[in-house]
């Protein structure tokens, strides 16, 4: 499992959403990417704040340059509404595109883009207090996270971003157990999107060896000063090496 920092792009520059300035942050996206590369990251989630169905997106060329120069795998989230917007990022080398509310609102569009871009579409399932919440919806739907997982995967979605958070936006009590239960029941590759508050919570997720869980997004936690990204990456790498060594000894 890998850690995936979420970085925000607006008008060709890095945007800083939190209360503190993390060590890797620079308004220059290339400088930020170099620092992340030096930290040893294995992927980036770009939150593109300029996606628009008409006109030029200033961030597309920036992301393409970062990918070509640093060879860092990446995915992109944003307010995608057209196939053309998605196509630009797929062509630029995105591993997958994360759809927002439109994945719930327009099933025909979801099916169409999954067919046109096989293996490149992801959807988010956000849970609060045990119920799925959809941005822009005033009332929480009655369907369960697994109901939506089945709906998405049935339409060809390859990745599911799953979060289970409390009112403060960080992982809810029992959220790690809920993540494990969710991953055990779905037929998809899963990225954990619940915000964690400390290295201990990352360690708990890593050491559980949760099936189908491939990554953990770090967003709010690295901008609010709860987690130092470089330290987190070092810890995860150490845990993975330790786990591999344990398996080797057991097999011997």
Q: pTM for the full model?
A: 0.92
Contact assessment for residue 133 and residue 127, using Cβ atoms and an 8 Å cutoff: yes
Contact call for residues 159 and 190 (beta carbons, < 8 A): yes
- The full set of domain ranges for the chain reads 2-251
How confident is the prediction along the chain (252 residues), in pLDDT tens digits per residue?
Answer: 899 999 999 999 999 998 789 999 999 999 999 999 999 999 999 999 998 777 678 899 999 999 999 999 999 999 999 999 999 999 999 999 999 999 999 999 999 999 999 999 999 999 998 889 998 776 667 899 999 999 999 999 999 999 999 988 899 999 999 999 999 999 999 999 999 999 999 999 999 989 999 999 999 999 999 999 999 999 999 988 877 644 332 332
pLDDT for the residue numbered 140: 65
What is 2-251's CATH number? Answer: 3.20.20.70
- Ranges of H-type helices in 92-214: 102-105, 107-116, 145-154, 175-185, 199-207
SS3 label, residue 20: coil
Indicate the angle between helix axes 29-39 and 229-251, nearest 10 degrees. 30
**Pairing between strand 159-165 and 213-218?**
unpaired
CA distance 11 to 169: 26
What are 144-149's contacts with CB under 8 Å, separation 24+?
A: 145/182, 146/182, 146/185, 146/186, 148/104, 148/123, 149/125, 149/182, 149/185, 149/186, 149/188
């Amino acid at each position: 499992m890998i850690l995936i920092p979420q970085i925000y792009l607006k008008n060709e520059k890095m945007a800083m959403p939190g209360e503190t300035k993390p060590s890797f942050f620079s308004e220059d996206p290339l400088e930020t990417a170099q620092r992340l590369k030096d930290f040893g990251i294995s992927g980036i989630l770009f939150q593109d704040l300029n996606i628009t169905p008409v006109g030029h997106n200033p961030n597309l060329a920036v992301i393409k340059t970062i990918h070509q120069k640093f060879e860092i795998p990446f995915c992109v989230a944003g307010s995608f509404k057209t196939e053309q917007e998605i196509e630009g990022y797929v062509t630029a080398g995105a591993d997958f595109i994360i759809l927002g509310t439109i994945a719930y609102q327009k099933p025909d569009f979801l099916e169409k883009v999954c067919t046109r871009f096989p293996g490149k579409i992801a959807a988010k399932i956000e849970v609060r207090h045990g119920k799925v919440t959809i941005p822009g919806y005033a009332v929480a739907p009655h369907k369960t996270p697994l109901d939506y997982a089945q709906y998405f995967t049935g339409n060809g979605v390859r990745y599911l971003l799953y979060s289970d958070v409390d009112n403060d936006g960080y992982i809810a009590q029992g959220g790690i157990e809920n993540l494990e239960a969710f991953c055990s029941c779905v037929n998809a590759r899963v990225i954990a999107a619940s915000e964690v508050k400390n290295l201990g919570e990352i360690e708990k997720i890593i050491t559980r060896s949760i099936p189908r869980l491939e990554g953990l997004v770090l967003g709010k936690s690295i901008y609010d000063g709860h987690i130092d990204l470089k330290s987190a990456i070092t810890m995860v790498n150490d845990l993975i090496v330790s786990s591999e060594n344990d398996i080797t000894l057991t097999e011997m």
